[in-house]
Amino acid sequence: MRVAILAALTPSPFKVHFMNILRTILRAFVLLLGMASAALTGPYEEALPKFANDSYADTDTAIGAVASSGNPLSIDVVEALRDGRLLIGAGQVFIRRVSGELTNAATGQVWGNPAGELKAVRVNNRVRRSIEAALGSLTLLSADAAKRLEAAHAVFRSRDEAVLPTLEKAIAQEGQTHVRNALENARAAILLSKQDALPMQRLAAIETLRARGDQEALALLSNLPSNAPPDVVAAAGKAAAGIRSRLTFWEAVQNVWYGISLGSVLLLAAIGLAITFGTMGVINMAHGEMVMLGAYTTFMVQELIRSQAPGLFGASLLIALPLAFLVAGSVGVLIERTVIRFLYGRPLETLLATWGISLILQQGVRTIFGPTNREVGTPAWMSGALDIGTMSLTYNRIAIVVFAFAVFAILLLVLRYTPLGLYVRAVTQNRRMAGSMGIRTSRIDALAFGLGSGVAGIAGVALSQIDNVSPNLGQGYIIDSFMVVVFGGVGNLWGTLVGAITLGIANKLLEPYAGAVLGKIALLIAIIVFIQRRPRGLFALKGRAVEA
């Protein structure tokens, strides 16, 4: 356009007159443009400078004004603010595009390198909430279904009555069922708390929320506005009662799931001990430190991946598994060869020696890696949660449950079907006879101890996802591990499985009623009583092996 005008303006004698006319027109045009832009200085342009005030209250009001201004740039501004890309400097507001390009927030035009330093507009929780609500109202009609869904959730939370017309429009044109559901939920939430809503609308809203049936719906239904007519109140009360009984059921399911999840952690921590203590009879107080070594191996692997091959991060835990097994396993073999083999049959000395080893390992790691926690990241596929009914199963817990059972199954197969497993069972059942049959018992001892330690190392990889990776990591698990193995029955892998899951579920069923502290105490007392009755645990070994 501009090029065309310039071309027309190319000097030429017989065009001078024409040019003058053109100039006048152009001038008028520019003037008009200026007037138009002055007239355009609406709420959007007025709100922008408020971002530069460095006050949360001003930023908050500016967001509201920008969002309701209808300016096409407002989504960009609010999104930039959310991501820390809204910059201020020299009294002006800029948007740093995701591409790195700098644009003027007022005009949307590309801006060169501004003189002076640019600072990001600061946000706090209050501002973040406003951003979320603003984006909710702005992106309700977005072309991206995921954004629409997010917007619906945001509106459900903000309950902004001003959004209602846009919301109606969004519902009318929504093609995807789950998004429409979310939008209808949002509408119901607004209508229920809206002062001048019709009883009909409210009853429909109550029906929608009853179908939603979660904690938030219950909260909405139990906080009706005071002017609600009696039939609405009655309907809400009925719907709330229905939701409550549904929630009670899901809560029970959730507690059982938490129990299984805790049980799987206990199983992972204890399963290595089931071999070293359960079948070999070594009271290995350094077992927790093997778990810790596994967790630190994960840390090392992730550090390497971060610096060398960031693309592999998603697979970092899988890569860490065999390495953790090797590291912890070889440390286990080393401990067995240098210390424990001289102490077989002397449980008290073994206990003291391995406890000393655990202190040495802890302090060693502390010296090398420092006393502070190390950051082990969670791969994307393990973050987030799966919603079933009203409970949310977090992916990392699901992964750990699956992983724990897989490790258990593999270990069971190794002990049952491999030559190593055969030798280990033979040696633990009758050492002298196994020796007479040509099995090198001392080598088997070392390998079995290495196997148990290696499995503990693998457990460390999983536990690094839910606990601190610090030198003290192992200490937290050693008591629980012994508890599981003793409770389940020494020398029996199945006992360890049943023991771990039972303790996990019992703990989690007790916790909501007794609290975390009393629940744990109650469980310990129960185990003491149980061991008094059945000293050999749930699954006691029978026969001559017991005395060996």
Partner 1 sequence: MSIFDMTRRNLMALTAAALVSSATAQAAKAEETIKVGVLHSLSGTMAISETTLKDVMLMLVEEQNKKGGLLGKKLEAVVVDPASNWPLFAEKARELISQHKVSAVFGAWTSVSRKSVLPVFKELNSILFYPVQYEGEESERNVFYTGAAPNQQAIPAVDYLAKEEKVERWVLAGTDYVYPRTTNKILEAYLKSKGVKAEDIMISYMPFGHSDWQTIVADIKKFGSSGKKTAVVSTINGDANVPFYKELANQGVKATDIPVVAFSVGEEELAGIDTKPLVGHLAAWNYFQSVDTPDNKAFIEKWKTFTKNAKRVSNDPMEAHVIGFNMWVKAVEKAGTTDPDKVIDSIVGIKVPNLTGGVSEMLPNHHITKPVLIGEIKEDGQFDTVWQTDDLVAGDAWSKHLEGSKDLVADWQTLKCGNYNTVTKKCGS
For the CB of residue 86, give the shortest distance to partner 1 in the complex, in Å. Answer: 15
Separation of alpha carbons 521 and 304, rounded Å: 42
Residues 245-304 binding partner 1 (CB under 8 A) are 254-255, 258, 261-262, 265
For the CB of residue 183, give the shortest distance to partner 1 in the complex, in Å. Answer: 20
| Closer Cβ to partner 1, 41 or 363, answer by number | 363
Strand partners, 86: 95
Please pick, from the candidates 15, 23, 119, 128, the single residue that binds partner 1 as defined by CB under 8 A: 128
| Closer Cβ to partner 1, 122 or 536, answer by number | 122
Please pick, from the candidates 4, 36, 39, 517, the single residue that binds partner 1 as defined by CB under 8 A: 517
Residues 368-397 binding partner 1 (CB under 8 A) are 370-375, 377-378, 383-385, 391-392, 394-397
Say if CB 238 and CB 495 are below 8 A apart: no
Separation of alpha carbons 270 and 408, rounded Å: 10
| Closer Cβ to partner 1, 359 or 433, answer by number | 359
For the CB of residue 365, give the shortest distance to partner 1 in the complex, in Å. Answer: 11
| Closer Cβ to partner 1, 130 or 492, answer by number | 130
Number of chain residues interacting with partner 1 (CB under 8 A): 59
For the CB of residue 469, give the shortest distance to partner 1 in the complex, in Å. Answer: 7
Nearest to 170 by CA among 179, 161, 159: 179
For the CB of residue 27, give the shortest distance to partner 1 in the complex, in Å. Answer: 50
| Closer Cβ to partner 1, 180 or 397, answer by number | 397
Stretch 201-220: interaction string toward partner 1, x if CB under 8 A: --------------xx-xxx
Stretch 460-499: interaction string toward partner 1, x if CB under 8 A: ------xxxxxxx--xx-----------------------
Separation of alpha carbons 23 and 19, rounded Å: 6
| Closer Cβ to partner 1, 95 or 503, answer by number | 503
* Buried b / exposed e along 150-181 (16+ C-beta atoms within 10 A): bbbbbbbebbbeebbebbeebbeebeeeebbb
For the CB of residue 285, give the shortest distance to partner 1 in the complex, in Å. Answer: 15
What the block records as the tokens of 106 is: 């007022």
Give the 3-state DSSP-derived string for 294-327, with helices as H, strands as E and coil as C.
HHHHHHHHHHHHHHHCHHHHHHHHHHHHHHHHHH
3-state helix, strand, coil in the chain (%, to 5): 75, 5, 25
Separation of alpha carbons 149 and 157, rounded Å: 13
The one segment of 97-105, 119-127, 139-147, 227-235 that binds partner 1 by CB under 8 A: 119-127
Separation of alpha carbons 429 and 541, rounded Å: 11
* Buried b / exposed e along 433-469 (16+ C-beta atoms within 10 A): ebeeeebebeebbbbbbbbbbbbbbbbbbbbbbebbb
Query: Which of helix, strand or coil describes residue 22?
Result: helix
| Closer Cβ to partner 1, 314 or 347, answer by number | 314
Binding of partner 1 by 223 (CB under 8 A): yes
Separation of alpha carbons 87 and 102, rounded Å: 9
Residues that bind partner 1 (CB under 8 A): 56, 122, 124-126, 128-129, 132, 157, 215-216, 218-220, 222-223, 254-255, 258, 261-262, 265, 362-363, 366, 370-375, 377-378, 383-385, 391-392, 394-397, 466-472, 475-476, 507-508, 511-512, 515-517, 520
